[in-house]
């Protein structure tokens, strides 16, 4: 078997094992959440018999280990269960499958993440390469200090600043990103500009600084010095000699930040009331909708693991030395 294929399969197996352990952590964490869905729906005045009957109807009377394997078995077949939202003690069931609730929200989150990544990744690479090319210049200092400043502020603070300046003082963009499937592409992009800019300011800073550090580290290598002694222009030295060998750390930080775009959008979606999966998860935690919380958390975990596996595989392919560690 080819070493690359063997390594890819080993990484995939490790990823599945990691996802299994993460699912156990998710289930146990939700089990320890304070409050109870049945008590929240029925109220404090409900009798113990009514609460017990309602818990039995929802399957919450089963042992935790039984409920875990029922849940994870359903997930393996694509069934995330049925939302508790819409359930009532009267026997009327207006609940919906979790997949039906998550599908449109996940699409919105991926749209926001994709819109941000399309601009952020090329911009970060450009800033990182040019800052390394003109190291210690005024341009490098301005870019580095600006990105360091944006990293220092939490996302919600950046979001509220953007709302203050571009939606309140100068009302150029809407403060609420209330998108809907009926909107055309450009209307959706327009409403997503502020949340996308919030995410972009954070991830561009991380990717730019990592790209700059990787390029500067490689510029000190002997083969780069040899290329310079040959009289090659600085741009050629970076683009043809340094950058190809810097892809491993750069791809890793890009994958990490792309995972953050999907996993870490909760705060941004709440601030801008964006109908994404992060907002759905917050609402589900508030209403103790256990199946929805479990599904959202597992999707976040799977996204993070898959993107990091992808970065790991790309790093190995671009750096054959990683295939044969000493």
**Residue 293, domain member (yes or no):** no
Determine the average pLDDT of the residues in 200-225.
82
Q: Tell me: pLDDT of 44 over 70.
A: no
Q: How many CB atoms are closer than 10 A to CB 180?
A: 11
**Residue 294, domain member (yes or no):** no
Q: Tell me: pLDDT of 141 over 80.
A: yes
- Split at pLDDT 50, 70, 90, the class of 138 is very high
Same domain, 82 and 165: no
C-alpha–C-alpha distance, residues 273 and 34, integer Å: 25
C-alpha–C-alpha distance, residues 100 and 26, integer Å: 21
Residue 224 belongs to domain with CATH number: 1.10.3720.10
Same domain, 134 and 280: yes
Same domain, 127 and 51: no
**Residue 324, domain member (yes or no):** yes
C-alpha–C-alpha distance, residues 172 and 190, integer Å: 10
pLDDT for the residue numbered 93 = 54
Q: Tell me: pLDDT of 324 over 60.
A: no
Q: Tell me: pLDDT of 101 over 80.
A: yes
Q: Tell me: pLDDT of 167 over 80.
A: yes
* Residue 64, both tokens: 């935790």
Predicted TM-score of the model (pTM)? 0.82
Q: Tell me: pLDDT of 83 over 60.
A: yes
Same domain, 118 and 192: yes
pLDDT for the residue numbered 129 = 83
Domain that holds residue 116: 102-286
Number of domains the chain is built from: 2
Mean predicted lDDT score pLDDT of the chain: 81
Same domain, 253 and 134: yes
- Residue 277 in contact with residue 115, Cβ under 8 Å? no
Q: Tell me: pLDDT of 87 over 70.
A: no
Strand, coil or helix: what is 79?
coil
**Residue 292, domain member (yes or no):** no
């Amino acid at each position: 078997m080819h070493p690359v294929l063997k390594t890819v399969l080993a990484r995939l197996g490790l990823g599945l094992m990691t996802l299994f352990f993460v699912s156990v952590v998710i289930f146990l964490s939700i089990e320890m959440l304070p409050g109870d869905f049945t008590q929240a729906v029925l109220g404090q005045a409900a009798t113990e018999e009514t609460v017990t009957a309602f818990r039995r109807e929802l399957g919450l009377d089963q042992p935790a280990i039984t409920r875990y394997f029922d849940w994870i078995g359903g997930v393996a077949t694509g069934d995330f269960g049925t939302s508790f939202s819409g359930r009532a003690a009267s026997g009327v069931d207006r609940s919906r499958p979790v997949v039906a609730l998550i599908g449109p929200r996940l699409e919105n989150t991926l749209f926001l993440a994709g819109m941000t990544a399309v601009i952020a990744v090329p911009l970060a690479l450009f800033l990182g390469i040019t800052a390394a090319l003109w190291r210690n210049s005024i341009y490098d200092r301005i870019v580095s200090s600006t990105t360091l400043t944006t990293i220092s502020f939490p996302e919600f603070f950046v979001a509220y600043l953007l709302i203050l300046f571009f939606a309140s003082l100068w009302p150029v963009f809407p403060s609420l990103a209330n998108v809907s499937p009926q909107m055309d592409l450009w209307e959706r992009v327009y409403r997503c500009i502020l949340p996308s800019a919030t995410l972009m300011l954070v991830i561009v800073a991380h990717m730019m600084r990592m790209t700059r550090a990787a390029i500067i580290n490689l510029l000190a290598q002997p083969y780069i010095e040899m290329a310079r002694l040959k009289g090659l222009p600085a741009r050629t030295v970076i683009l043809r000699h340094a950058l190809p060998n810097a892809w491993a750390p750069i791809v890793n930080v890009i994958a990490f930040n792309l995972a953050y775009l999907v996993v870490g959008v909760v705060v941004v979606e709440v601030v801008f009331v964006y109908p994404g999966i992060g907002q759905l998860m917050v609402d589900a935690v508030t209403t103790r909708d256990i199946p929805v919380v479990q599904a959202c958390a597992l999707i976040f975990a799977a996204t993070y693991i898959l993107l990091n596996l992808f970065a790991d595989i790309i790093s190995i392919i671009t750096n054959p030395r990683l295939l044969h560690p000493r």
